[in-house]
Amino acid sequence: MKKEYLNSDLDSFLAKWLEGELTDQEFKNLVNEDDYNAFLKIRHGLHVRNLLDRPTDATFSKIQDKIQSKKDKVRPLYSNWAIGIAASIALLFGLFMFLDIGEIIIETGFGESKTIALLDGSEVILNSKTKIIYDEDNWIKERKLYLDGEAYFRVTKGEGFVVITNNGTVSVLGTQFNVNSTTDFFDVVCFEGKVGVKTLQSDHVLYPTDTFRKINGNNSEVSKTLDKMPAWVNGESTFKSVPLRYVIKALEEQYQIEFDDKSISDSDIFTGSFPHDSLNVALKTVFETLNIKYTEKEKRNIKLRYKE
Amino acid sequence: MRLIYVLVLMLLPILAFSQEEAFYIEFKDVDLNEAIGEIEDIYNVLFSYKDDYLIGKKVTFIRKKRTLEETLHELESISKLFYEVIYKRYIIVSL
């Protein structure tokens, strides 16, 4: 039997049934069977939709929770780095402030020379490939510097002036002198005043024109020079009875070149000069007299061999 | 900078002049390396040589005026070495 009712009544029954205020049986009694079956399917559909909706929301929530938790893990890591860097900067700044580091390092490159005015009015001229290190903050109290290479000093009168090298120490009182100290070559020339030279093996006092030299660990010797100042200050390198390999090294440092000198004897002793402004003339002045042929193998690499 | 140019221009003729000018030179049986040192100072030149070349060689010059060229010529005949002037003030000594 088909039941007849108004739409408003149906809506009311339907709402109450879906809300659970009417049991299935009560609702079945109020509507016809076809409608009831249709409503059952709709309610089932709604139930399934709710079930489908629920896990989606949960998954979304879980993903959000995971993102949130990941963000929470990254944040402290970043913060630690930032704190670390800030702390390091603060520490270094503090060290500089408290330790008062005033170390000055001055270097020259190939073929370069530099004139440095020191705080006490003294002057140092550095030849090519030379390095000096000194403490600017303590300079007035202690005039002391480290030298690797060759430098000419014009020292103002004062408490003392010490040049420390790997080969020995040079100490003076207001004077002019030249120090050339490389790995196994140590040469000190006094041009004015008095210079003390101290090595592991001996102590010497040099007066004007005196030259102290120690080569390759051999016994040191003191000789005289006629020069008024080192020639390199005026753009020339001068050597007096020097093993050729030191002259070759000086050429390399002056002109930024390399020599293939495997076939050259280490016993050749050279006296002479080369200019700093012409490689061709420099090569000729050094090697022509020694009967050595020089040929450019590749750019800035020169092969040396004795002429036939 | 202009001052440096002026000084250089003033010095150039002096340097050139010192080599062309004749100077009194006198050596009495002195070592060749010693004589070369004197010649360097007088004519404002620089010699390059292998030390071995000069060993045992002595020089005697009677006193008279000589230019650099004349001095080197005389030195050549005494020492049996060759003297080549390059770049105006470098003198290469060879066998």
DSSP structure string for A182-226: ETTEEEEEEEES-EEEE-SS-EEEE-TTEEEEEETTPPPEEEE--
CA dihedral B85, B87, B91, B95 (to 10 degrees): -70
A249: DSSP letter:
H
Q: Assess whether pLDDT exceeds 80 at residue A122.
A: yes
Q: Is the pTM of this model over 0.80?
A: no
Average pLDDT score over chain A? 83
**Cβ distance of A278 and B87 shorter than 8 Å:** yes
Q: Is B4 on the interface with A (CB under 8 A)?
A: no
Model confidence at A170: pLDDT above 90: yes
Mean pLDDT of A273-292: 94
Of B37, B48, B95, the CB nearest to A285: B48
Q: Which residue of B37, B41, B92 is in closest CB contact with A284?
A: B92
Q: What is the pLDDT of residues A223-263, one digit of tens each?
A: 888 788 888 988 999 999 999 999 999 999 999 999 998 88
Nearest CA in chain B to A239: B48
Using a CB-CB cut-off of 8 Å, the residues of chain B touching A245 are none
Using DSSP bridges, classify how beta strands A269-275 and B46-50 pair: parallel, antiparallel or unpaired.
antiparallel
Determine contact: A270 vs chain B, CB below 8 A: yes
| DSSP per position, A119-141 | TTS-EEEE-SS-EEEEESTTTTT
The predicted pLDDT at position A3 comes to 55
**With 80 as the cut, is the pLDDT of residue A202 above it?**
yes
Above pLDDT 70, what percent of chain A? 79
Q: Which range is least confidently modeled, A103-112, A140-149, B2-11, B15-24? A: B2-11
Nearest chain A CA: its distance from B83 CA (Å): 10
Whether A265 has a pLDDT exceeding 90, the answer reads: no
Report chain B residues whose CB lies below 8 A from the CB of A271: 33, 47-51
More confident call, B31 vs A84: B31
Nearest to A289 among B33, B41, B92 (CB): B92
pLDDT of B6: 47
User: Pick from A207, A153, A159: which is nearest to A176 by CA?
Assistant: A153
Each residue of A5-56: pLDDT tens digit?
A: 566 677 777 788 877 888 888 878 887 888 888 888 777 777 656 655 555 5
